[in-house]
Structure 1
Amino acid sequence: MYNKRIVFMAACLGLLLFGVTLITLGAVVLDLRQKFSLDGIAAGTLFSIMPIGILAGSLFFGPVSDRYGYKLLLVLSCLGLCAGFQGIAHAASPDILKACIFVFGLSGGVVNGATNAVVADITVRGKGASLSLLGVSFGIGALGMPQVLAALRQYYAWNEIVSAVGWLTLIMAVLYAVIKFPPPKHLQGFPLKQSGRMFGDLTLLLIGFFLFCQSSFEAIINNWTTTYLTAGDHMEESRALYALSLYIAGFTVMRLLTGSVFRTVPPRHMLIVSLLLMPAGILLLQTGSTFAVSAAGLILLGAGLAGGFPIMLGFVGERYASHSGTAFSFVLVIALIGNMLVNYMMGLVVQHYGVQHLTTVALAEWLAMLLLCSTIVRRLQ
């Protein structure tokens, strides 16, 4: 037997680590460029390695967790995160650094998928609400790491801070080793036949492509907002970064509300609220001539985007309760491909047409999500 509350708390700590993982490389990239004398292209290569690792981890964790359970997978991924943190902090050459970043991303992808899947497994009712509450931990990790670096830099070198965070993941590995998790769903063999059937499940494919748009929407807002706000001396970089942090705050607070105050609200109603908040945020961001208006738009965007992953993954967990890990892998891989593909396409749009078209791309993504969401809800009903 396992304790659901303890498993949920352990999953929250794991997703907090994933939030720290995603933000760490960007937070120390200037230090890495200086240490290894990297130009812009070489630094960009570092950023491209990590999503590949996360994609591999997301593909890998599902069948393995269904076959062997979550304990071993989470222990090994925490050890991988520890190795990744130490490698980023102490790597002696660019090649070693690249290998460590791949391991870092691979382990982070496993932690992200496995923690979401295990929470879906232990939740009988309101999977979307529980996954939203779990997602708050991700926001805390993503918001907290830059603050920790900024606060401690006057006392310690950047690599000492990163190394210390890495040792915390080792403690997490020990914690996961002693906690009891749900047992494996399939004691013999991998569920390959069921995995093949998922390609023929139109509803699951539609959820995957909704998350394709959701993930890529989050990526372009995270990666291009500061450039958009500072274009043409519209806003100072420090204020643009603060506005972006308000977007993450709106995202995190909405997930907290979804998992607590709005826990009894039907998921389809929360999706409607989310899809209404997003165009309002885009409009304010597009027309905003002051910091207050732009910040309000980003807060609304964050709140609107908060529900996509938890609610859709909740649908997947209910539809594939006996193969939840494999099903989560299936849709998360589609989502990550969208993240990488649309982010690259956004770079081409910025290069050829200007960063002002960020809101145009965002509006197109919203329209696609609206159509996909209406179709998914109809099919599920």
Structure 2
Amino acid sequence: MRYNRNLVFIASCAGMLLFGIVFLSLGTVLTFVRQQYGLSELQAGSLTALLPFGILAGSIVFGPVVDRYGYKYVLIFSTFIIFLAFEGIAYAGSLLILQIAFLLIGFGGGIINGATNALVSDISSASKGANLSLLGVFYGIGAVGMPFLLGVLSNKFAYASIIAGIGIFVLLPFIFFFIVQFPVSKNKHGTSLKETGRLFSTVLLLLGFVLFFESAVEGIANNWATSFALSVVTPENSFALMALTLSNIALVISRLLLGILLVKVKPYRMLYFCWSCVLIGSLIMYFVHTVAGLYLGMALIGFGFGAGFPVILGYVGELNPGFTGTAFGVVITIALIGNTLINGLTGVVSQRFGVNYFPLVIVACVIAMMIIFAVVFQKMKLKIQAGKEIKEALT
């Protein structure tokens, strides 16, 4: 059955908007949850662990499922459990329900993030990176919109009502997913172990390790920038929050521009350009301890984050057209592991040497990405010879 590409892309953007809301949900609602339910530090800590665990679990399982059964009901299922999770957070009667809700919201978010990226890759015969960049804009809107919405509405409504209302909003894409016709499954009869094993090629794993460090730097920039600003630059919390806001706005602008530029400019060139922006921004933050330096550094870092995921996922989609979901699941899982491990390493560095060294962790990660990508790009060039259809995207 035929599908409307534009409607499918809109559905994907709606799903990515939800993931942006989900990914920022922990930080924005945790204060409310602790106050509303009188949670201890240990109990609140259990929630901070369950959300990323849920995202990781969702990222692992979505790939084989969408390759076998298609996207429609996977997106419907993940959206519905996100709705249930928000309602659970709003009206939980016990810590157990809260823990289940945070696990579910992470699990649904992990599924919807991977599935929407794989879906856009599948419906994009050309310029996968450009379309994935435009998709990423909606993650930024969701990520910025969630705290903004809570800040604006919290003066008029109770937090529980706002969170429950966001849950009701989730039902809009849920209904839309029912209406839209999606691409059919590519592997209705399943995949043999031999075919699955071939997916775990050196090229795919190396691309996964590029995202290992990309996800890490994006994570530590969001998680440690506030501590860095308050300890090294200024004790005023408002300046730190403004720096984070500038970074997120720069990311959205970057993704919008890349949605246009990646149609004309080779993806690997934009990738190196954006990584250079992250390097420069990190070095500015390390050497220039002023508010202006903080703002400029974080803006450059946010702008530089624009290319990483869209370009690398575009390559993954080009190289694995028959198993897009599974291949995306592999690299996204590696990326999430990198986010967790490097965040922990940054904590160790900050404790032993001081948080002022946090920008140098970003520098080290970017250099690692550049080296790994240089190696994998040479391997991809060799692989091009076996498939003319991907030659234009990689050379």
Scaled by the length of structure 1, the TM-score of the pair is: 0.97
Name 1:315's counterpart in structure 2.
Answer: 315
| Alignment-derived partner of residue 80 in structure 1 | 81
Q: State the shift of 1:20 in Å.
A: 0.6
C-alpha separation in 1, matches of 2:348 and 2:41: 17
- Describe the SS at the equivalent of 2:322: helix
Give the structure 2 partner of residue 358 of structure 1.
358
For residue 342 of structure 1, report the CA deviation from its aligned partner.
1.3
SS in 2 for 1:188: coil
Q: 1:232 to 1:257 in 2, by over 3 A?
A: closer
**Aligned AA (2:346):** M
The residue number in structure 1 matching 2:68 is 67
Amino acid paired to 1:315: Y
1:48 paired residue number:
49
SS of residue in 1 equivalent to 2:93: coil
- 2:305 maps to 305
Unaligned runs of 5+ in 1: none
State the alpha-carbon separation in 1 of the partners of residues 267 and 8 from structure 2. Answer: 23
Residue 28 in structure 1 maps to residue 29 in structure 2 = yes
- Secondary structure of 2:24 counterpart: helix
For residues 192 and 168 of structure 1, what CA distance do their matches in structure 2 show? 41
Q: Is 1:133 the counterpart of 2:134 in the alignment?
A: yes
Q: Tell me the equivalent position of 1:14.
A: 15
Deviations 1:44-100 (A, max 9, x none): 221111111001100111000000000000000010100111111111111110011
8 A Cα contact 2:89 2:101, kept in partner: yes
Tell me if the contact between 1:70 and 1:182 (Cα under 8 Å) persists in the aligned partners.
Answer: yes
The reply to whether residue 123 of structure 1 matches residue 124 of structure 2 is yes
Aligned-partner Cα distance in 2 for 1:171–1:83: 14
CA distance in 1, matches of 2:203, 2:244: 34
Return the alpha-carbon distance in structure 1 between the equivalents of residues 39 and 287 of structure 2: 38
Q: Which amino acid is the alignment partner of residue 78 of structure 2?
A: S
Which amino acid is the alignment partner of residue 367 of structure 1? I
* C-alpha distance in structure 1 between counterparts of 2:150 and 2:305, whole Å: 27
User: How well do the aligned residues superpose, as a CA RMSD in angstroms?
Assistant: 1.2
Shift of residue 232, structure 1, vs aligned partner: 5.1
Identity %: 41
Structure 2 stretches lacking a partner, 5+ long: 382-395
1:297 Cα deviation after fit: 0.7
TM-superposed CA distance for 1:241, in Å, is 0.6
Cα pair 2:286 2:359 within 8 Å, conserved: yes
Q: Within 5 Å, which residues of 2 pair with 1:81-230?
A: 81-190=82-191, 192-199=193-200, 201-230=201-230
Q: Secondary structure of the equivalent of 1:2?
A: coil
Conserved in 2, the CA contact under 8 Å of 1:235 and 1:291?
A: no
Hey, what's the Cα distance between the residues in 2 that align with 1:261 and 1:232?
Answer: 36
In structure 2, relative to structure 1, the CA distance for the partners of 1:341 and 1:78 (3 Å cut) is same
Report the equivalent of 1:377: 377
> Which amino acid in structure 2 is aligned with residue 126 of structure 1?
S
SS of the aligned residue for 1:102 comes to: helix
State the shift of 1:38 in Å.
Answer: 2.1
- Equivalent-residue separation in structure 2 for 1:319 and 1:232 (angstroms): 44
Q: Read off the aligned partner of 2:81 and give its amino acid letter.
A: G
**Any idea what SS the aligned residue of 1:182 has?**
coil
CA contact (8 A) 2:233 2:290 kept: no
Separation in 2 of the partners of 1:192 and 1:38? 46
SS in 2 for 1:38: coil
CA offsets per residue over residues 327-368 of structure 1, 9 Å max, x none? 000111100111111112222222222211211211111110
Contact 2:234 2:291 in 1 (8 A): no
Q: Which moved more, 1:106-115 or 1:182-191?
A: 182-191
Post-superposition CA distance 1:184-208 (Å, at most 9, x none): 0011124543222222x11111000
In 2: Cα distance, 1:212 partner to 1:222 partner: 16
CA distance, structure 2, for counterparts of residue 310 and residue 37 of structure 1 = 41
Q: Deviations over 1:307-337 (max 9, x none)?
A: 0100000000000001000000011110011
Shift of 1:276: 1.4
SS of equivalent to 1:260 = helix
More displaced 10-residue stretch of structure 1: 202-211 or 235-244: 235-244
Shift of 1:254: 0.4
- Report the Cα distance in structure 1 between the residues aligned to 2:36 and 2:75, rounded to whole angstroms: 32
Aligned to 2:249: 249
TM-score (norm 2): 0.94
For residues 338 and 70 of structure 1, the distance between their equivalents in structure 2, rounded to whole angstroms, comes to 27
Change beyond 3 A, Cα 1:155–1:342: same
Taking the TM superposition and a 5 Å limit, the aligned residue runs for 1:285-296 are: 285-296=285-296
AA partner of residue 140 (structure 1): I
Cα offsets for 1:132-181 (capped at 9, x unmatched) = 01000000000111111111111101111111111111221111011000
Change (3 A) 1:262 1:28: same
Distance in 2 separating the partners of 1:192 and 1:351: 45
